[in-house]
Structure formats: C-alpha cells, structure tokens
Structure 1
Amino acid sequence: MSRGKALRISVRFKDDVAIMSLSGKFLAGSDGPFLRQKVKDLTDAGTKKLILDFGGVPYIDSTGLGFLVGSLKTVEEARARLVLSSLNEHVKRILEGLRLSQFFLIAEDEAKALTQLNQEAKPAARPPKPAPPKAKKRPPRKAPQDVED
C-alpha cells in the first residue's frame, strides 16, 4: 500500500502481530493522518500487538514524531502493545533528544520486537489472594454492676 510520494507503507501479520513496514522519508504531508488512521483501524479490528518497522526510514520530521505520539496514544487506549523496530541512528537520536524514547518500547530488529511483544503478552503470575482476616473473638461483655452509695 502506498500513500504520497515519499513514504511507502505495507502491513502484514505474523501470527497475532501486525507489522507495519515503513520505507522512505517521513515528511510533512498527508502521510501522518493516513498512518494514524491505519493504526486505529488495526486496533479497532482487535489487533493487540503492533510493530512499526522503521528499517526503510532514513529521515523523520515533526510530522513523523506527531504520528508516533498519536499512534502510541491510540494503541494504549486500545490496551494494545506497540514496539518500534529497526530505527536508524538519525531517528534514534531525535527520539532520545526529545526524550520520547522513554515512552516507547524499542527493539533492534523485527525478530527482537516479536520476542519482546510475546514476552510482554504473557500474563504475569499473580500471587494468591490473601485469606480474609479471621475475626478476633472479643471477650464477653461484663454487665455493669450496680453501685450503691
């Protein structure tokens, strides 16, 4: 699937993970809203695990950053997981410089992103619920004694 002149987008599935591969320069234009809608369509369809593969993206501008933040919000609202994979040094530096990298799961490549998503998806073992506290037995109340003056 392609949109605009600069950025190409393709979506494929590996088991229950949607992998959105991006290639080309991510510049201002219609790509951001289109991509944001594509992510929303995937989560609305029930996708709970999504990888954005930036392996073919040599450059990203503020539109691309807005897309990432908007996509993260969309994914979190759907209680889904998002991993960015295959970021080049330019894109990593921008994310780190703006302190956005702290909000995203980032993997070196697609295989590591898949591993990360599958590990994250496993429910953590919950400790057993504690037993309700036992009622303490109160000593019987003593009847008030009559006091004579």
Structure 2
Amino acid sequence: ALLAVCSGAYGADEPPKKEYVALAPVIVTASRTAETADETLASVTVITREDIERSQALSVQEVLRGLAGISIANNGGLGKNTSVFLRGTESDHVLVLIDGIKVGSATLGQAAFQDFPMEQIERIEVVRGPRSSLY
C-alpha cells in the first residue's frame, strides 16, 4: 500500500505534457475550397502572423517590400499614400480583400495600404498570375 501512495505522489508533481502538431498552411481559393500551399498551381505567397512579428515591420508596405513581383511607391513616411503594383500592372488593378470583402477607394480605385493596422493582421496572401482572375 505504501508503494502505491508513493508512486501516485511522484506522478502528481509532473505537469502534463502537451504535444503540438504542425499543420500545412491552408490557402483560401476563389472556389471556396481550401487547398494547401503545395497543392495550388498558382503562384501564392502566404505571410503569417509569426512572419510579420519576426520581421518587426511597422506597416503593410514593409511586409510586402521584399516579395517577388511586387513594387511599392510611397509618398513620404508612415501614414502617407502608398501604392502597390503587382508585376507591372497599375495600382488600381490590385484587388485587396479583407475577410472576403473588397476594399478600395471609390475615386482612386486602390486600397489605402498605409491605413491597415498591423496589430489586426492575421495573415496576408498574395496571389499572382491568371489564377487571381477568379477572385
């Protein structure tokens, strides 16, 4: 009986171990079916919250600056008008969706990247090429 009491007390001192399983990033497509990044045929770049925190970027344009096929024009410092160009197109050709809703100015036709709060961004997906026309 003494052995059973001692073994129970020993096991109670150890905290339960948690195991985490790393999942492949899921990309939301225009057909509303989830695909992993390696299954999609389009040129897609996914920037997660961890990537944003690791880069210590203060604005969306700083996060997008190093991506392939993206050019950024900024008229000053933080908070000034920012335009994003994808693969040589005009800035009003870039479609910006936030939670599936189109965002942009009715007069300029482009999104105000300088006004997006970095604290509220969970992930950024950049879709290039003909697959983006589905959106």
Question: If the TM-score is normalised by the length of the shorter chain, which range does it land in?
Answer: under 0.3
**TM-score (normalizing by structure 1):** 0.26
Q: Which structure ranks higher in relative contact order (CA pairs < 8 Å, sequence separation ≥ 6)? A: 2
**TM-score (normalizing by structure 2):** 0.28
Structure having the higher Rg: 1
**Between structures 1 and 2, the one with greater helix share:** 1
